[in-house]
Structure 1
Amino acid sequence: MGRSNRVSGFPVSQNIITKGFINKKMVRDFHAGRDFMKILYGVCGEGLGHASRSRILIRFLQQHGHEVYIIAGGKAYSVLSKEFDQVLKVESPQAFYQCNQVRILYTLLHNLYKTMVRTPVSFFKVRHLMKEFQPDLLITDAEPISHFAARFSGIKRISIDNPSALLYRKYPIKKREYPSWLFLFFALKLSLFGADKYIIYDFFDEQINNPQVLFSKPLIQPGIRSHTSTSEDHIFVYQTSLSFTYLFDSLKKFDETFVIYGFNREITTGNLIFKRFNEDEFYHDIASSKAVMVNGGFTVISEALYLKKPIFSLPIRHQFEQVFNARCIERLGVGISHQKFCEDDLRHFLSNLGFYYENLQRYDAGNQNKILARIEQEIQNVHK
């Protein structure tokens, strides 16, 4: 690995090659006329989905000669710091769950405490990095600290995420959902206000009459795209609420094999096969399943759609983004969603797989190379 220069505790590139940085001189001849940029990239640390899709775009930008410095917290920092050298750790909002629902009060108080006590330290760390790195613009995937720091510094800002769809799409809201919807709506408004461009990952790719907003089909991991979708005998299960264990007693009653991820266990009990996360096995198991059973997380739903798998969704209660994603599944006709698990609902789903398979054939996941190229062009347009 080449030599790096550290200024005031921050590694600053000298046009060298590292595992997270591409030498601009080596690629300039292959991209004549391209405007190379120094980009700060903020990634939300709640869950793994933000980091999963961000690393696809970060790699693409690096391969096209742009310098990228990542700002991340939580799980995103754990993932991205293993793959890239230039990663600054910041505080990240965190949600707490119990029995597949968000503990609203505890989550709110915990994040309020972090905002008051720890977030200012992260804010000044980011501001210091901006002075040293001198970025041309900031990209944020729902990461608020870097967005606020960039706004304070007069740096152009691009929001690239999926939750922002809630700000621009029309959708029904049930009365009992208003508290969680209001919380998320105003959190998005406050944390992403004033971006120069909003690029929003969306299952429908239907544009609206707003030049600041571009809807795009989701980015899909190369590991998923490298697998051929087959239909074997097992059902793929992925849940992130570790306390949602009462589900297992019900699944044992089915004459089906369930391959289960998300509980950090490696054990087989009857028809339930628990696995710890391994990227290759995870991709193989979802690609070879006959159906998937997930919460309402955007990334795994995107991967299931790409692989054309029927989806049984149990969105985490009081997390409106997941409810919104689950309803998109029903609108597409590729699965069903329920806020509470019921054995009869699962039986009904399994008896209608043929119907969902038929609708899945009409879903267009988009050309990934074209999606990436379009996103980079939009970034270039904002920079000009």
Structure 2
Amino acid sequence: MKILYGIQGTGNGHITRARVMAKALAKKGLEVDYVFSGRPAGQYFDMEDFGNYQTFKGLSFVSEHGTISYLKTIQKARPLKMYKDIQNFDVSSYDLILNDFEPITAWAGRKAGKKVINISHQAVFTKDKVPSLGLGWLNRQILRNFAPSDIALGVHWYHYGQSIMPPFIEREVSSSSSSENVLVYMPFEDINEVVELLESQLDQEFVLYHPDVKAQRKVNNVLFRRACRTGFLKDLEESKGVIANAGFELSSEALCAGKKLLLKPLQGQFEQESNAETLRSLGLATVINGLDESELERWLLLPDNDAINYPSDPTPLVEWLISGDHTQPDVLCKQLWASISLPQFSRSVWSK
């Protein structure tokens, strides 16, 4: 079987999920070509698991000071270039197309009449009963048409009684050591505004990852680190908590490691706003709307979360994909959720 796997490159969460999948696909000896779009080619890092991958410009949202700028998103978009990329992408040699909210491979597959299976967090918002904020007409159209598929398998923190999978979390760094540091990753915020917030709590040490950090350095109570997957996971495992925007994968990794969460969703981005509300309602995160010093001070006094044992091995999903029978995704999803223990303190909320 030859597989094409298209991955949205905006943010690191889609790539993290694809990395876990890539290792499981490789163990099965499958031939997989990886395609990424949504960020400049030179900004990808730690991509060894994807072999000779391809990149395209694609389409991504532009943010300023923690809020989506629709005007700059439109100004930066190059729809004619994306249209040509779709028309010129030859998918005839592939038996199956996997997609994680990547538009070029999804549309190329649809144009050629190939089966496209969407494995993404975005797919959960096409399901009933899943909490969502700001899911108006425009966002519904984006969900349906940005990266169309024949089968959509959503990935979420809870299944809500539907064909939704748990996140696969590969804890690559095993560490018995711990620190009192707090890990900070807020790529959609202005770095100077984030530092100003952190320096309001000089008695607390923070480890800050941000796209604008060019070299490691220590200033007052903030250790600046450049992007590095292994180093990031180590700092996550050793930290006492995580401050972040409300992306799906980092929140999932923090929940799996039992870390408390302080989240500021990207304003105007319904997925992040919905993520934050879901975790708040489940008692798993504190949510803030701005970089508020008093909210940070209160959050630092909170205890850790109970760890959630999300699975690390997507082999059951891979076997389902290569079986060719994709008619019963609910059976697969029930299998994946069977061994997961929900937090005791929020179990009544999860069962609703």
TM-score where L is the length of structure 2: 0.83
| Cα distance in structure 1, aligned partners of 2:95 and 2:301 | 54
SS in 2 for 1:264: coil
Give every structure 1 segment of 4 or more consecutive aligned residues whose post-TM-superposition deviation is greater than 6 Å. Answer: none
Could you tell me which residue of structure 1 aligns to residue 7 of structure 2? 43
Q: Deviations over 1:137-176 (max 9, x none)?
A: 10000011211111111111100010111111435666xx
Which digits, 9 at most, give the CA deviation of each residue in 1:203-243, with x for residues without a partner? 113432xxxxx3111122342xx324654211110111252
Give, in whole Å, the separation in 1 of the partners of 2:258 and 2:177: 10
The match for 1:218 among 155, 167, 170 is 167
Q: Is 1:330 aligned to 2:280, yes or no?
A: yes
Contact kept, 8 Å, 1:53 with 1:219, in 2: the verdict is yes
Does the 8 Å CA contact 1:229/1:307 hold for their aligned counterparts?
A: no
Secondary structure in structure 1 of the residue aligned to 2:157? coil
Distance 2:102 2:176 in 1: 33
Question: What's 1:121 paired with?
Answer: 84
Q: CA deviation at 1:261?
A: 0.4
CA distance in 2, matches of 1:216, 1:341: 32
1:99 paired with 2:69, answer no
Distance 1:316 1:244, change over 3 A: farther
> Which residue of the partner structure matches residue 187 of structure 1?
142
Which of 235, 238, 246 matches 1:288?
A: 238
Q: 2:209 matched to 1:261?
A: yes
2:197–2:291 Cα contact (<8 Å) kept: no
Distance 1:379 1:242, change over 3 A: same
2:54 alignment counterpart: 88
Note the residue ranges of structure 2 that are not aligned, 5 or more in a row.
327-352
- Cα distance in 1 for partners of 2:171, 2:250 equals 14
Equivalent residues, number: 321
- CA distances 1:283-311 after superposition (whole Å, capped 9, x unpaired): 11111111110001111111111111000
Please say which of residues 255-264 and 78-87 is displaced more in the overlay.
78-87
Structure 2 vs 1, CA of residues 88 and 124 (structure 1 numbering), >3 Å: closer, same or farther?
A: farther
Task: Give the counterpart of 1:137 among 96, 120, 130.
Answer: 96
Aligned counterpart, 1:368: 312
1:277 and 2:277 are equivalent in the alignment: no
Report matched runs for 1:1-384 at 5 Å.
37-75=1-39, 78-79=44-45, 82-111=48-77, 114-115=78-79, 117-126=80-89, 128=90, 130-131=91-92, 134-170=93-129, 177=134, 181-193=136-148, 195-208=149-162, 214-223=163-172, 226-228=173-175, 231-241=178-188, 243-254=190-201, 255-262=203-210, 263-265=212-214, 266-353=216-303, 356-357=304-305, 360-361=306-307, 363-365=308-310, 367-369=311-313, 372-382=314-324
Deviations 1:246-291 (A, max 9, x none): 2322321212111100131422111111111222221111111111
SS of structure 1 residue aligned to 2:235: helix
Question: Given that residues 264 and 275 in structure 1 are in contact (C-alpha distance below 8 angstroms), is that contact kept between their aligned partners in structure 2?
Answer: yes
The higher relative CO (CA closer than 8 Å, separation ≥ 6) is in 2
CA distance in 1, matches of 2:174, 2:137: 39
| Offset, 1:197 | 2.1
Q: CA deviation at 1:85?
A: 3.6
CA distance in 2, matches of 1:137, 1:204: 27
Kindly indicate whether the alpha-carbon contact (under 8 Å) linking 2:39 and 2:57 is maintained by their aligned counterparts in 1: no
Paired residues of 1:237 and 1:294 also in contact (CA < 8 A): yes
Structure 2 letter corresponding to 1:65: G
Tell me if the contact between 2:61 and 2:73 (Cα under 8 Å) persists in the aligned partners.
yes
CA offset digits 1:13-50 (Å, max 9, x no partner): xxxxxxxxxxxxxxxxxxxxxxxx11111111211211
Query: Could you tell me whether the CA contact under 8 Å between 1:268 and 1:274 is conserved in 2?
Result: yes
Change (3 A) 1:135 1:335: same
Distance 1:352 1:222 in 2: 24
Gaps of 5+ in 1: 1-36, 209-213
